[in-house]
Every structure is written in C-alpha cells, then in structure tokens.
Structure 1
C-alpha cells in the first residue's frame, strides 16, 4: 500500500512539474517610461486572415511577421508552434515565446497597464495581446492602434471574416472600456498580457 501511495505522489509531482514547465517563464512587469500621444496607428499595409479553429496565436504572429516583410500565413505557422493544449489545440503563451526565440526576432512577454501597452506600440510594431474570460475562453489579437479622443482601440482579429474597420487600421475596433474588460482576462499571472516582438 505504501509503495502505491509513494508511486501516486511521484506521479502527481511529475504532473505538477510538467505543468509548471509549460507555463513558465512568467511574464515580466513592463517598466518602460510612459510616453505616448493621444492617438497612434500603424498604417503599413498588411493582409487579414481568418483562423479555422484555435490557431489565433499563429495568425497573430503571422500578422507581425508580415509587418516585418515576411511572407507568412497563419495555418502554416501554426504547424511550427509547440505547447498546444490537447484536444483544443490552443497554444499556451510559452508557444509564442518558443517560436520567436527560434527565429531572428526577439520577443518579450509583459504584463502591464494600458499606458505601458500604448507606449510600446508607439515604437511602430504591432503587439500581440491576450484577452479572454477566465478558463472559458482566451484569444490572441494583434494591437495596431488606438485613439484616446474617440476611446477606441484597433486590432487585427483572426476571428473576423471581414474588414469591419473600413479606412481605420486593422479589421476590428473595440471601445477602450470593452478592450480593458477583455484584457482583464481573469488568468492569474497572465493577466494584462502582451508580447513585444523586435528584430535582433
């Protein structure tokens, strides 16, 4: 009986260690000096794709890579991503880090405020954000711009089948308040999460 108990404990410990490995490293707190204008939009031309199932991590990443001039599409990129949840295929944040760390790009995973997020965006590169509702659902989108005067935030969202933004950047607009509600995604440690990607 004691042998089975010890075996069960070792198995539980192994599972816990594996889970810890999959969710680490934890995000850094963004310490950037706050400095941003009332509005900022990335106007560089890009294409929009629609995901099939839960490939939003790869579709958001492909959008960033196309911004840098690479010919990438979300479905092909998704095949290169690791750390996918069984059954759903959802990619954990570590999967985005793992992919970009294997390329010529540098990626940093932050938690921060709307002010630090806007400051990072003004460097001119789209930023991947994680929004959601606790364990019910989580979704990656790509931040492209904001307008504080209009209280709007602009995204590429691979769940959208059409360009809803017309002349505005991206294919989806959210009110600032609604975005902040979604960005407060209910995940411990990974709340207010975003990925800043730069060329090395």
Structure 2
C-alpha cells in the first residue's frame, strides 16, 4: 500500500516544486495610507496573445529604469508551458536571474496595499474573468479606499486612460478575480525588490 503511495507523493512534490507555492505574507502592520499611487513615469503595452508575464515584467523593469518591452522579453522568458503561458515561479526565476529579490506571496487586501505603498508595482495573479479558468498577471500601481489601479496589458480590460494606469477595479471585483483555480494560489501576488545599487542612485 505504502509503495503505491510513494510515487504519487514524489510526483506531487515535483509539481509543487516546479510551479512554486506562495509564501504567507509576513507584513502585519496595520498602518497603511488610505490611498497611494506610484508616480514614477511608465507606459503600458498591449499584449497580443498570452504574454502577460513578460509584459508585467517589462512594466516593472521600466519602473526600475531599465528600458524593456514585453514582446521582446517573451521569446526568452523562462519556464513557458506548452500553450505559451507561465506560472508564478517563472516570474520569480526571471527577476532573480537579473539580480532582483523576488517573492511569490499569499496575503490579503491590507498586505497588498502595504506593498504598493512601498513604491514598487506589485504583480497580481488573478483570473481574467471571475467565471472562467483563464489566468492573468497584471501590475497594480495604486489604490484608494474602494479601488485598485492596474497597468493592464489586455486591451479589452482597459476602462480608463489615466497617465499612470489604465484600469480601475473595485475591491469587491478584485476579490472575485483573486481566486485562481490553481491550488493554493488564491490572493497571491509577486513582489519585486529594487536592487541595492538602484536605491543608492535614487538617494
């Protein structure tokens, strides 16, 4: 009986190891600004297929001062699946290869706001539609008491044209989308830390 279970446990371990499980976010502070918007100049691009991981990564790299475009990043993006999509670990691998600290986390509305208020775009892992399985990565650049502001690469999801963001969603809408079908991925996001030399230059 045990000999039959062991191979399945090994397979499950490798699956979790490959896709990566989010770590529990340890930010417990309740002191969060009521509203915040990352004000560094940037631009949004429109993806044509399933390149949202690369387009989100390019947005964050431009925030750090590195000129980058999603359609140029995508061909060499790590760990693509057969359908061209990627899972969260691919993004952490991508940024770590460039020397950034990058963590896949599980949190809540409050911890998400805390990370945004530190001044770096956070990459959300959400559904495209609340009632469908398709998943999406999108940078979030700000919030207020009732909404979050996204730098959206899906043209049909854009609903505004502000200088720093192009999609505004309510907290309740985010909650409905923040439930990927992938096990253990609910309320997850990817946090990228600036390099130390980037901090030195901005000081």
Shorter chain as denominator, the TM-score bin is: 0.7 to 0.9
1:120-148 per-position Cα deviation (integer Å, ceiling 9, x unaligned):
11100000000015872100110011110
Give 1:144's match in structure 2, choosing from 141, 144, 152.
141
- What are structure 1's unaligned runs of at least 5 residues? 1-5
Structure 2 residue 94 is the aligned partner of structure 1 residue 107: no
TM-score (norm 1): 0.84
Give 2:63's match in structure 1, choosing from 67, 70, 76.
67
Structure 1 vs Structure 2 CA RMSD: 2.5
TM-superposed CA distance for 1:21, in Å, is 3.3
Question: Following superposition, which runs of at least 4 residues in structure 1 exceed 6 angstroms of deviation?
Answer: 9-14
Give the aligned partner of residue 3 of structure 1. Answer: none
In structure 1, distance between residues paired with 2:37 and 2:112:
13
Q: What does residue range 1-200 of structure 1 map to in structure 2 within 5 Å? A: 16=12, 18-24=14-20, 26-32=21-27, 33-86=29-82, 88-132=83-127, 133=130, 136-148=133-145, 151-160=146-155, 164-167=159-162, 169-200=164-195
TM-superposed CA distance for 1:82, in Å, is 1.7
Aligned pairs, number:
190
Whether contact under 8 Å (1:22, 1:83) holds in the other structure is: no
SS across alignment from 1:98? helix
TM-score (norm 2): 0.83
Larger radius of gyration: 1
TM-superposed CA distance for 1:66, in Å, is 0.3
TM-superposed CA distance for 1:19, in Å, is 2.7
- What are structure 2's unaligned runs of at least 5 residues? 196-203
In structure 1, distance between residues paired with 2:40 and 2:168:
17
In structure 1, distance between residues paired with 2:94 and 2:113:
24
